A = this chain, B = another copy of it.
Amino acid sequence: MPIALAIATLLVIVVSSYFQTIRAYPKGGGAYIVARENLGLYAGLLAAAALLVGYILTVAVSISAGVAAITSALPALYPFRVWLCLGLIAFIMLANLRGVRESGTLFSVPTYLFIFSFYLLIVVGLVRYFAGGVPVARAKAVAIPTVQPVTVFFILRAFASGCTALTGIEAISDGVPAFKPPEAVNASKTLLWMGGILTSLFLGITMLAYLYGVVPSKGETVVSELARIVFGNGPLYYLIQLATVLGLTLAANTSFADFPRLSWFLARDRFLPRQLMNLGDRLVFSNGIILLSVLSSLLVIVFHGNTHALIPLYAVGVFVSFTLSQTGMVRRWLTRREGKRWWLSAAINGLGALTTGMVMVIVAVTKFAQGAWIVVLLLPIIIAMFLEINHHYRAVAAQLSLEGVQELPSLSASKVIVPVAGVHRGVLHALQYARSISTDITAVCVDVDPAVTERVRERWPQWVSDIPLVTLPSPYRSTLEPLMDYIEQVEQNNGPDDVITVLLPEFVPARWWHHLLHNQTALLIRMVLHYRRNTVVINVPYHLEK
């Protein structure tokens, strides 16, 4: 109970702090933006890295917990929990890819169901307890050897719930523009309501668990045990479990809005691949959604759907970003001194920063061996990745830039090489094209099969009199190597800036499976030449009808 009260206090402090942030950043102020703007680039990147990790962990932890609610109600499904998790993640992913974010009504039903059924559980549980009609303590508690691990476990579980709630708060702050106008006012209202509901639910459930002496066990969740004691095995029990699953799915779903949005900010600032900026035809950041699904699914698979081990990581990550965000706000108030009561705002954010910072340090130190070290290791790696990506984009921009360019060197399709493997319509078609772009054409035939080469040499003068045919010996029956050697040789006779054009005659079969029946030599040549300097590749396809 004291821990629960502490966490409730924490929730109140964080909510008040974020209240300030929403007022200051009506256009959306996530930890990344607040920290970057007020504390500098590195603090921003640190907050962003911690948040990205936090979002991935939110999905993995929420979905695992949701599936734990399912398997508590239906223990026969326990062996399939990883598949259930993956299925649930895939479902949320598809819903988000189809743009479910816009349809708010779809979400209001499960949200109200969740809030309503949990309040019901708390009220009925308290009434029954004080009426004295239910068996209070259960034998299970005896089996626990010492108090220490249980307490630790409780603290962690509590943190997990708390953190999920806190991520929701960050989500509101990050996504202010998505609210109905006046955005900042509505966002603040939502924040207050959400904070209030979460705090009261959290306190209620913890009190019930304390009163009934329920302790988490491996096969069953605390809420499931509580609901079983309070409601029996009737339909109300299943309602509670259903509400838990839906509630946790919604918790995971917030990450599906936030992760792509933060990725977009980072991609815009060139710290993540620019593909994360692509807006699909349904106006969602498809790549971010898919990336989040893949990463959280991997976590679920690696941890076999038991994600308790991830909770310390999660807590550290989330509190790092909170602390940075709040510190950024303090700095902002101190620098700007806007409004009359800037000192009050600064004090509130200062308290928030201090509290979350303390929690962060406590979790990181006490849980260092249990997994917090992973975050300590991971965050610098992610930041290094951000910086490396940024460096690459800058280098590309510099290399492509036209700054100071007076005139580009001229370039022409002077020398054309046409690899041929036979004398047929496809090849003659390609040679016609070659004739239209150059007068210096050479056909080459790699001698992989002497019988084939002989046939080509025989028929060549009959059909092509104006283009010389060079036969390349291939002692090891490779097509590619002799061709590359020949191109090299031609290039040596060229000037250093001259370009070599390789024209590939290719016939395109009528059906996709026909590809399986033909050597993919042209594809291979194209791939290798792509990485060759001063080489232009032309594909002249000849389409078969059947």
Interface residue stretch chosen among A43-51, A118-126, A255-263, A389-397 = A389-397
A429 interface hit (Cβ, 8 Å): yes
* CB atoms of A436 and B413 under 8 A apart: yes
Q: Which of B273, B405, B518, B545 contacts A399 (CB 8 A)?
A: B545
A544 interface hit (Cβ, 8 Å): yes
List which A442-480 residues lie within 8 A (CB) of chain B. Answer: 463, 476-478
Q: Which of B278, B413, B518 contacts A274 (CB 8 A)?
A: B518
The answer to whether A428 and B408 touch (CB under 8 A), given A273-B516, A279-B477, A423-B402, is yes
* CB atoms of B433 and A478 under 8 A apart: no
Interface residue stretch chosen among A55-63, A191-199, A215-223, A532-540 = A532-540
Bound-state Cα–Cα, A333 to B69, Å:
78
* CB atoms of A530 and B537 under 8 A apart: no
* CB atoms of A408 and B432 under 8 A apart: yes
A213 interface hit (Cβ, 8 Å): no
Bound-state Cα–Cα, A74 to B393, Å:
57
CB contacts (< 8 Å) of A99 on chain B: these are none
* CB atoms of A400 and B413 under 8 A apart: no
Q: Mark A385-421, 1 if CB is under 8 A from B, else 0.
A: 0000100110110011110010011111110000000
A130 interface hit (Cβ, 8 Å): no
A499 interface hit (Cβ, 8 Å): yes
The answer to whether A274 and B519 touch (CB under 8 A), given A535-B541, A536-B433, is yes
* CB atoms of B408 and A433 under 8 A apart: no
List which A490-516 residues lie within 8 A (CB) of chain B. Answer: 499, 507-509, 514, 516
Which chain B residue shows the least CB distance to A545? B399
Q: Mark A73-92, 1 if CB is under 8 A from B, else 0.
A: 00000000000000000000
* CB atoms of B540 and A533 under 8 A apart: no
Which chain B residue shows the least CB distance to A395? B546
Number of copies of this chain that the complex holds: 2
The answer to whether A540 and B546 touch (CB under 8 A), given A413-B437, A531-B508, is no
CB contacts (< 8 Å) of A399 on chain B: these are 425, 544-546
* CB atoms of A517 and B392 under 8 A apart: yes
A426 interface hit (Cβ, 8 Å): yes
* CB atoms of B540 and A539 under 8 A apart: no
- Please report the total number of A residues contacting B with Cβ < 8 Å: 65
* CB atoms of A424 and B412 under 8 A apart: no
CB contacts (< 8 Å) of A514 on chain B: these are 392, 396
* CB atoms of A401 and B424 under 8 A apart: yes
* CB atoms of B400 and A433 under 8 A apart: no
A40 interface hit (Cβ, 8 Å): no
CB contacts (< 8 Å) of A128 on chain B: these are none
A-B contact sample (17 more), CB < 8 A, given A393-B517, A412-B433: A274-B517, A275-B518, A280-B477, A281-B478, A395-B546, A399-B544, A400-B507, A402-B423, A408-B429, A408-B432, A412-B436, A414-B436, A433-B499, A436-B437, A437-B437, A533-B543, A538-B539
3 residue pairs, one from A and one from B, having the closest CB atoms: A412-B436, A400-B424, A411-B432
Residues of chain A at the chain B interface (Cβ within 8 Å) = 273-275, 278-281, 389, 392-393, 395-396, 399-402, 405, 408-414, 422-426, 428-429, 432-433, 436-438, 463, 476-478, 499, 507-509, 514, 516-519, 526, 530-531, 533, 535-546
Mind listing 7 A-B residue pairs with CB under 8 Å?
A392-B514, A396-B514, A400-B542, A413-B433, A437-B437, A535-B541, A536-B541
